[in-house]
Amino acid sequence: NERNLKRFNNISLAAKSLNNIYDALVHLSFNLDKPGKKELIDLNLLTTQRLNYFSPFFAKRGLEIDTSLKPSLINADLGDVSKILDNLLSNASKYAAPNSKVRITLEPNFFSISNIGRGISKEDQMKIFDRYTRFNDDQGGFGIGLNLVKSCCIKNGIEVKCQSKLGKETTFSLFWKD
């Protein structure tokens, strides 16, 4: 029935969340120190796959996904790039205002994800990539996701930037060279 289906969907999302947290912890603990296996990655395809995976999280919060995905390749470690996308998509779904829009742009040598929510103060933006750093207690998490993003970016020669204003849009951007 409808009630049990809703419960099942909530359990399914919780299981996916736990799996993502576990994967992030394992990656942070065991994979970052190992040399990555660089390969040419079709970021358009990978982004589409990760968006499909996270679509139930976006749907649960009533978020509209606005994408502009152009062909883009990157020579990097697939596991690292997947963790970068997963954490940025997860954060966008958690911290966007309900029933708002998340904008994702992919171009050659550039990726960005933006949402409208609480925003991040200038002071907090200076610490956002520090391990165990969290700025609210209502969304869960351990403060490792953005540290993992930064670590994976450094390992693969990707520059990551955060731009945000309180109560306005927050954008995370990635830049890399061929």
Reply yes or no on whether the pLDDT at 12 is more than 90.
no
Asked if 50 and 106 count as a contact pair (C-beta separation under 8 A), the reply is: no
- Tell me how crowded residue 134 is: count the other CB atoms within 10 A of its CB: 15
Using DSSP, state whether 3 is helix, strand or coil. helix
Of 96 and 140, the one with more pLDDT? 96
Amino acid 135: pLDDT: 65
Contacts of 11 (CB under 8 A, 6+ apart): none
Asked if 89 and 128 count as a contact pair (C-beta separation under 8 A), the reply is: no
C-alpha distances out from residue 124 to 6, 58, 112, Å = 36, 25, 20
Q: What share of the chain is helix, strand, coil (3-state, %, to 5)?
A: 45, 25, 30
C-alpha distances out from residue 64 to 57, 59, 101, Å = 11, 8, 5
Of 163 and 6, the one with more pLDDT? 163
Amino acid 9: pLDDT: 76
pLDDT band at 13 (very low <50, low <70, confident <90, very high): confident
Q: In the beta sheet, which residues pair with residue 68? A: 105
- The 10s digit of each residue's pLDDT in 46-65 is 999 999 999 998 998 999 99
Amino acid 6: pLDDT: 75
- Give the pair of three-digit tokens for residue 19: 């799996």
The Cα 172–Cα 149 span in angstroms is: 11
- Give the pair of three-digit tokens for residue 109: 């040598």
Reply yes or no on whether the pLDDT at 150 is more than 90.
yes
